[in-house]
């Protein structure tokens, strides 16, 4: 309800003096203007993220709600991880940016409707991701930098490659050994054994 404070209006009143004459005395009177009595208006507000519709949400609000209340709801929706929220009326366009977050929905053009049938309206928003200079948040897990992680991964990949190459080399060398060498080694083993004397006949069994 909009109620204006009463205004004081100066008037004059005539009174009789002791000598029989009349004297005008100024007197202040309070003038009550007409009360601004209007029913509350409501909007069924759909709040849409510019880049991703999975974070859109809908809320029913009074037209007397301030825009910063909507910004707080947006930040709460993102878990407080965003900043510099920008609101757009109806659609994303530079002329539709709602700069003054102290304004109400009614003041920026959302007329609304009765609570039983709130008027559907749309506000789009965009934001910047939260920035921090905290060393704990900027560092990688276990204190390693990104370069250290990349270097470690590359080293591990090179070690695996070398192991695979060594395994393949051993398998190839074993498969390529000719059968003649094996027979030659067997004959050499027989030759190295004690030979039979030519004067001594062989014993037949």
pLDDT, tens digit (0-9, with 9 covering 90-100), for 18-50? 555 555 555 555 666 666 567 889 999 999 999
Q: Which whole-number Å values give the CA distances from 14 to 10, 19, 22, in the listed order?
A: 14, 14, 6
Buried-state track 123-136, b at ≥16 Cβ within 10 A, e below 16: bbbbbeeeeeeeee
Structure tokens, 31: 């003038």
* Mean pLDDT along residues 143-172: 70
* Mean pLDDT along residues 149-158: 69
Contact between residue 23 and residue 29 where contact means Cβ atoms under 8 Å apart: no
* Mean pLDDT along residues 154-181: 71
* Mean pLDDT along residues 149-171: 74
For residue 175, the tally of other CB atoms under 10 A from its CB is 7
Question: What is the reported pLDDT for 133?
Answer: 65
pLDDT at 142 over 70: no
Question: What is the reported pLDDT for 205?
Answer: 47
pLDDT in tens, 83-135: 889 999 999 999 999 999 999 999 999 999 999 999 999 999 998 766 666 66
Question: What is the reported pLDDT for 78?
Answer: 87
Question: What is the reported pLDDT for 1?
Answer: 46
| H or E stretch covering 78 | none
Question: What is the reported pLDDT for 53?
Answer: 86
Question: How many Å apart are CA 172 and CA 19, to the nearest integer?
Answer: 141
Burial class of 31 by CB neighbour count within 10 A (0 to 12, 13 to 18, 19+): exposed
164 pLDDT band (50/70/90 cuts)?
confident
* Mean pLDDT of the residues in the chain: 74
Q: Which of 105, 1, 78, 91 is nearest to 48 (CA)?
A: 91
């Amino acid at each position: 309800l909009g109620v204006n404070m009463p205004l004081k209006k100066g008037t004059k009143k005539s009174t009789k003096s002791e000598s029989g004459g009349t004297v005008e005395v100024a007197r202040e009177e309070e003038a009550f203007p007409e009360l601004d009595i209007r029913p509350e208006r409501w909007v069924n507000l759909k709040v849409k993220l510019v880049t991703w519709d999975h974070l859109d949400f809908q809320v029913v609000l009074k037209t007397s709600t301030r825009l910063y209340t909507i910004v707080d709801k947006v930040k709460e929706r993102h878990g407080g991880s965003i900043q510099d929220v920008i609101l757009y009326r109806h659609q994303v366009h530079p002329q539709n940016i709602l700069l003054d977050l102290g304004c109400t929905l009614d003041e920026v053009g959302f007329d609304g409707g009765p609570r039983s049938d709130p008027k559907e309206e749309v506000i789009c928003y965009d934001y910047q991701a939260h920035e921090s200079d905290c060393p704990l948040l900027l560092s990688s897990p276990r204190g390693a930098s990104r370069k250290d992680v990349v270097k470690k991964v590359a080293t591990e990949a090179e070690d695996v490659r070398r192991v695979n190459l060594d395994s393949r080399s051993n398998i190839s060398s074993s498969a390529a050994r000719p059968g003649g060498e094996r027979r030659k080694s067997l004959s050499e083993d027989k030759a190295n054994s004690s030979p039979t004397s030519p004067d001594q006949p062989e014993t037949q069994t």
